[in-house]
Structure 1
Amino acid sequence: MLKLAVLTTHPIQYQAPLYRKIAARGDVDLKVFFCWDFGVKETKDPGFGKTIRWDVPLLDGYEHEFLPNLSRRPGTNHFFGIVNPTAPSRIAAFEPDAVVVHGYAHFTEHEVMAAARLKGWPVLLRGESTLLPARKTWVKATKRALLPPLFRGLGGALAIGTLSARYFQHYGLPPERTFIAPYTVDNAFFQARADAVREDARAWREELRIPEDDLVVLYAAKLIPVKGCADLVTAFAARPRPGAHLVIVGDGPLRGEIEALAKGSGASVRFVGFVNQQRMPAAYALGDVFALPSRYEPWGLAVNEAMNLGLPIIASDQVGAVPDLVGPDNGWVFPAGGTSALARVLDEALSDRAALARRGEASRKRIAGWDIPHTAEGFVHAARTVSAAS
């Protein structure tokens, strides 16, 4: 029986199905250690600009423990937002064969990795970083100095996709210690609801005053600068698009600014606001094509979700999921920030309804092989490998 400990900042709606899948195996004893209780209770999310509580089970089906967080300002946005002095002793009490650590941006993660070296636990680092974003020279130099020694002390890394693997290897981790554990969503959750939510989506379109036969470009993300929603509005409004609408799902500090931009453009843009997880399948079913125009996106799990509902994808070249999930068969890729290029992509996408449907079916086929069972197997295979080598 493999004893696998996972250290992560807080319960996340995308990770809970993965933990349940691993825990349901008969060959793994899993325990997840949380550093913060964000998401379990109503908490202010600065990205959405409102207090939220997820409406899907975050803690059911697997063993877990919340570690006391002594940070004066709990959060994931700064190094000392996650400070859990008891983490090494609590993990030691579990007697793990391997430890998965999600990220290295906080105090506790380094505390646990240091303890692991002393106790002989092999560590698998899982992170979202890629080489995509343009970085200042001093940032590149700092990473080049600090990351290779950190990575050399690892048992291995759990890369979320192609660009993630390149990142770890760029900073010195050998390919044989880089394991793919794909970044996935609960495909079964979305696909099981795909047919049932069609009626909900039709009613929703009526509420939004969108004719049934018109085409909808769907955006679903926080309204923050890095997501590029203003670029999408600008590109959509670049020329008249009769019979086409842009629906924006999400909230955030830029909502007022983006609403003003949309109103001034005269284009048909509808704002839905924040939508919780249970209704997200219906939100995707509103659309005929999904757009994620981010200026930088380490992955973009909304792409996975939209593909499960059979939507073709428009994504910027700064979206980390692109090399693995988006190709000419199921979507379009444009240079981030390039509103003229995005407008041309929208022209093509909205010009042929039959081609959209074909690309949507290709999305559904692609995402079928990129799911939670594959990620769970990636975790277990990597943990067994590094445990045997330690």
Structure 2
Amino acid sequence: MEKIKVALQQRVIPNYRVPFFEKLGQRPEIELSIFSGLPRPQEMIEIAKNISNVNFVKGKNIHLFDKRFYICLQPGIHQWLREYDPDVVILEANPRYLSSRKAIQWIKKEGKGLIGWGLGVPNHSGKLSKIVSETRFQFLRNFDEIIAYSKHGKQQYVKAGIPEEIIHIAPNSTAPKPDFPPPIREQVFQNGRAILLFVGRLQTRKRVDSLIRACAQISEDQQPDLWVVGDGLILNDLKSYANLNYPRTKFWGAVYGKELEEIFKRADLFVLPGTGGLAIQQAMSYALPVIVAEGDGSQSNMVFPENGWIIPANDENVLVSTIKKAISDPAELREMGNNAYDIIANHINIDIMTEVFITSIIETFKLRNKYGR
């Protein structure tokens, strides 16, 4: 079978996405080319430098305006598509990327298959909400198929008017299927205290200060050790804050590889009190139960009462009570950790994500050929 030529567009490619794209690029069914640009400096995204098994084209992003008015132009996308001449194109399903609209015209004219990939459809309110919703629907209806990050995202696309049968769910995965058994932990905490772990880039939106305050509100005899792994502009501020408010906090800095693996194995509970949850899956792959704040809905695919807690964002009282409940029963915490491992091993990992993409690519390619496009 001749390989299907696939062109995949991204605004930017963070480092954490590289293993997935490399896995996708290894598949014998396809030949993959990826186009992306640079983020804005204030986004502090660690971007991919190289991607194996892929024709990686680094383009230019033009960022205009900010927040709710943000739009992005990728002028190089048109030349890339014409030169590569793919069979199937995968675009981020985001109408704010204006160059994609022109690209879609070319894709349709040339009879290429078109797949959209996105989080879902945000809610709009105000006088212009109907116009915004209609404009988004007209954009989304161009896609032959759509890949959503989560069930929540799929529901949003259906609500926006997209037929359910053309929507696939590829859980937003950053961790491979574990090639190791779950770590064995004792039924009691080491040194009589639980170890709470946070891993991530240190930014205000991650709310690590809230986690420090929450630990300080627990009675002294039950207070856990708090480990913070990561670097960022607010590292020194957090160190000073923790020194004053919760000296049981240990800052590891940026840690990778075997050293990070050992930290995951020694921890008892992973906590993410703010937005951005890329380390959740890695923590779960080391049999750690998790406490995460509500975000874009993708957590609902992987965090259940059997393996953790999803708590309201910005509610410190709930964070305190949930930590206290979690560390009150080490044996139950271990069982929840094993459930977390099972989810990553068998339900949410980049191997499964890759399979969903390949299925959608093949379906779209066959649809294109069926109608002689």
* Shorter-chain TM-score tier: 0.7 to 0.9
- How many residue pairs get matched? 359
Deviations 1:129-163 (A, max 9, x none): 465xx865368556413211111111121111112
237-246 vs 371-380, which deviates more? Answer: 237-246
The match for 1:101 is 91
Distance change in 2, residues 1:142/1:216 (3 Å): farther
The match for 1:153 is 142
2-structure distance, mates of 1:76, 1:192 = 42
- For the Cα contact (< 8 Å) 2:148–2:168, is it kept in 1? yes
305-314 vs 25-34, which deviates more? Answer: 25-34
Identify the match of residue 7 of structure 1 among 6, 9, 13: 9
Deviations 1:39-87 (A, max 9, x none): xxxxx96455xx9677xx84122232223x16389x999856x543232
Once the 2 structures are TM-superposed, how far is the Cα of residue 329 of structure 1 from its aligned partner? 1.0
- For the Cα contact (< 8 Å) 1:240–1:267, is it kept in 2? no
1:193-208 equivalence runs, <5 A:
none
TM-score, scaled relative to structure 2:
0.83
144-153 vs 214-223, which deviates more? Answer: 214-223
TM-score, scaled relative to structure 1:
0.80
Q: Does 2:26 match 1:24? A: yes
- For the Cα contact (< 8 Å) 2:124–2:133, is it kept in 1? no
The match for 2:371 is none
The match for 1:89 is 79
Amino acid at match of 2:342: K
- For the Cα contact (< 8 Å) 1:191–1:308, is it kept in 2? no
Once the 2 structures are TM-superposed, how far is the Cα of residue 311 of structure 1 from its aligned partner? 0.5
153-162 vs 236-245, which deviates more? Answer: 236-245
Distance change in 2, residues 1:364/1:337 (3 Å): same
The match for 1:176 is 165
- For the Cα contact (< 8 Å) 1:303–1:321, is it kept in 2? no
Q: Does the residue aligned with 2:16 lie in a helix, a strand or coil?
A: coil
Amino acid at match of 1:124: I
Once the 2 structures are TM-superposed, how far is the Cα of residue 181 of structure 1 from its aligned partner? 1.8
- For the Cα contact (< 8 Å) 2:12–2:47, is it kept in 1? no
The match for 1:389 is 367
Once the 2 structures are TM-superposed, how far is the Cα of residue 191 of structure 1 from its aligned partner? 4.6
2-structure distance, mates of 1:84, 1:338 = 39
Q: Which stretches in structure 1 are left out of the alignment for 5+ residues?
A: 39-43, 199-209
2-structure distance, mates of 1:352, 1:374 = 33
Q: Does the residue aligned with 2:267 lie in a helix, a strand or coil?
A: coil
- For the Cα contact (< 8 Å) 1:151–1:172, is it kept in 2? no
Distance change in 2, residues 1:9/1:70 (3 Å): closer
The match for 2:58 is 66
Deviations 1:198-241 (A, max 9, x none): 9xxxxxxxxxxx97653211112233333232322222211234
2-structure distance, mates of 1:185, 1:72 = 26
97-106 vs 250-259, which deviates more? Answer: 250-259
Percent identical residues? 19
1-structure distance, mates of 2:232, 2:339 = 32
- For the Cα contact (< 8 Å) 2:37–2:61, is it kept in 1? no
The match for 2:329 is 352
Distance change in 2, residues 1:266/1:87 (3 Å): closer
Q: Does the residue aligned with 1:179 lie in a helix, a strand or coil?
A: strand
Q: Does 2:206 match 1:227? A: yes
The match for 1:124 is 115
Identify the match of residue 293 of structure 2 among 309, 316, 322: 316
- For the Cα contact (< 8 Å) 1:3–1:96, is it kept in 2? yes
325-334 vs 213-222, which deviates more? Answer: 213-222
Distance change in 2, residues 1:316/1:98 (3 Å): same
- For the Cα contact (< 8 Å) 1:220–1:249, is it kept in 2? yes
Distance change in 2, residues 1:45/1:292 (3 Å): farther
1-structure distance, mates of 2:206, 2:104 = 32
Q: Does 2:307 match 1:330? A: yes
1-structure distance, mates of 2:140, 2:196 = 41
Distance change in 2, residues 1:383/1:52 (3 Å): closer
- For the Cα contact (< 8 Å) 1:130–1:164, is it kept in 2? yes
Distance change in 2, residues 1:312/1:135 (3 Å): farther
2-structure distance, mates of 1:15, 1:382 = 19
Amino acid at match of 1:85: P
